[in-house]
Amino acid sequence: MFDESEIKEGFICPICKSDEKNIEVLLKHFDEQHSEEKDLITTFRDVFKIAKKKILNFDEKTFENTLKISKPTNPFQEYDFIDEVQEIGLFTNHFEYFKAIRDPRIERYATETNKLIIRLNKLLTNRPNDPQQIKQHEQNLVPWIDGKLVKLCPSCAKSFFLTRRQHHCRLCGSIMCNDCSQFLSIDESKSIISPSNESKQDDSVDIILKQPEDSIRMCEHCLHLLITRKEMQDSKLSKPIITKIYEQIETLKKEIMPHITMYEKMIDSLYKGDSVYTLADAGVLRGKIGSTAETLDDLSKKVLTLKCMKGSRQEAIQKSLRMAAIKFIKENMLTLPQIPVEEEIKKIQQKRIMELNQKIERDRRLAQEAFEKYDLSENYPATSSKTGSSIKMVDNWSGFQQNIQVNANDPLVEQMNIIKGYIKQAREALRFEEIETLEANLKELQHEYWLRAQQKENSEN
């Protein structure tokens, strides 16, 4: 019998006081054993529902209270900032330990790589063309390991037999199979030995060949060391794209500035009525300046298309380069004076010619008066001039003498014709500074020729 003084826990039947294992077993027991007591069963079910609901509500309230307690009322509550300056705690410097480990390893790799490069240089020096002689040349420089001592490939651990032959590394002499062999082209080998600024920045994968023709066989370890050295060389020699574009922009600026100065000088000369330059010369030079301006604009736009992080220093540099190019174009190219109208230049030149003719007539009259007054000798000292086959001017530009039919009896006329040929060549080469110098020389010769003609005319009279 059930002892009322005894307290039981668990899933106890309220009628027969039997202990069930879980609630499903208890409900099943109630339906089977006490099915006649419907009201009691209903009451029992309601009690379980109420108890279950209370338990769930209690768990939810407990969870909410936990969140309220854990949630800070102040967003800075969980971070207690300390106004006082904290002293640095204990620390240990491991740099010396790091160097002690790193330096021997770097020295070992550097020594081994240098040894491989020296051997590679010897292999490429006086390399014969005959395959048998190449093999003998390689064996004389690098000692090969005896194949009888190696039964398995060190890389893939496969045994050697008739279809898997032994091959030797040409740099260290180790043995490997054909599948584990690597090949380095002769051209890339030379670029590793003697790097230059013009060497191509190829990927390391591109220099590894799968075909042994015109290449050097080596193991994976030696190739890795050589590729690492080549990547280090390329990183030192290569320049960022933005640097290359900047150098191109600066080169164009330096090249175009003399042309801009010459164009302004040319326009001033045309407005003064001088015949040294022509409208065609000014048009050609202005076209070259305009083409350079377009190139500068395209290069500065290309700088902005380079990928970079937003707000980074590189982005600021790219924008600065663009603004500098725009400023240079506006201040030096867009402000150039326009080419004058041909009719206006003709009027100015005609006026200039009239003034020169008046000056020549005045000089001739003064010279004639001087001859009559002082009774100068007919043997007027002539200015000697030497003719040459070429002439050398600014920036080492030189013209060549053309075959021109001249009066051999008058060296002065011959010299003037030669200078006219040089002027034509300089105009074709857009050497406007040389044109100015040659025109000045031509005017001096023409003036000398005129003086001689006046002297001859006066002597005949």
In a domain, 368, yes or no: no
CB contact set of 199 (below 8 Å; sequence gap of 6+): 191, 233, 234, 237
Check whether residue 429 and residue 325 sit in a common domain.
no
Residues 155 and 51 in one domain: no
Query: Do residue 307 and residue 392 come from a single domain?
Result: no
**Length in residues, the chain:** 461
Number of structural domains (the chain) is: 4
Q: 115 and 233 share a domain?
A: yes
Name the pLDDT band for 86 (thresholds 50, 70, 90).
Answer: confident
Residue 169 has pLDDT above 50, yes or no: yes
User: Pick from 306, 332, 358: which residue ends a domain?
Assistant: 332
Residues 122 and 208 in one domain: yes
Q: What are phi and psi of 183, to 5 degrees?
A: -130, 135
d(CA 293, CA 224): 47
pLDDT value at residue 383: 43
Q: Which residue, chain included where needed, has tokens 């020296």?
A: 118
What CATH number is associated with residue 230? 3.30.40.10
Is pLDDT above 80 for 420? no
Question: Domain for residue 347, yes or no?
Answer: no
pLDDT of residue 406: 46
- Please indicate, yes or no, if residue 342 is contained in any of the structural domains: no
110, 48: one domain: no
Write out the H or E segment, with its range, that includes residue 427. helix 411-428
Maximum mean pLDDT: which of 43-47, 128-132, 161-165, 297-301:
297-301
Strand 11-12 versus strand 182-185 pairing type: unpaired
Residue partners of 274: CB distance under 8 A and separation at least 6: 352
Q: Quick one: 132 and 179 in the same domain?
A: yes
Give the pLDDT mean for 334-355: 79
For residue 225, the model assigns a pLDDT of 92
- Check pLDDT > 50 for residue 153: yes
Domain that holds residue 168: 102-237
Question: Considering the domain boundaries, does residue 162 fall inside one?
Answer: yes
CATH number for the domain spanning 417: value is 4.10.860.20
- Residue 60 has a pLDDT of 58
Residue 362 counted as domain residue: no
Please give the average per-residue pLDDT across 283-303, as a whole number: 91
User: For residue 261, is pLDDT > 70?
Assistant: yes
Give the residue from 186, 221, 237 where a domain finishes.
237
- In a domain, residue 337? The reply is no
Q: CA 440 to CA 408: how far, in whole Å?
A: 23
Same domain, 217 and 250: no
418, 436: one domain: yes
Residue 400 domain flag: yes
Distance CA 168, CA 217 (A): 8
Residues 233 and 106 in one domain: yes
Assess whether 137 and 203 both reside in one domain: yes
Torsion sign over Cα 187, 188, 194, 198:
positive
- Report the candidate in 241, 240, 235, 230 with the shortest Cα–Cα distance to residue 206: 230
Verify that 299 and 402 share a domain, yes or no.
no
According to the model, what pLDDT value does residue 460 have?
63
- Per residue in 54-71, pLDDT tens? 666 655 555 555 545 444
Domain end point (choices 206, 237, 268): 237
In the chain, the N- to C-terminal Cα span, in Å, equals: 175
pLDDT tens-digit readout, 372-417 = 555 544 444 444 444 444 444 444 445 555 544 444 456 777 777 7
What does the mean pLDDT of the chain come to?
Answer: 76
Is 295 a domain residue? yes
Low-confidence winner among 130-144, 161-175, 308-322, 436-450 (lowest mean pLDDT): 436-450
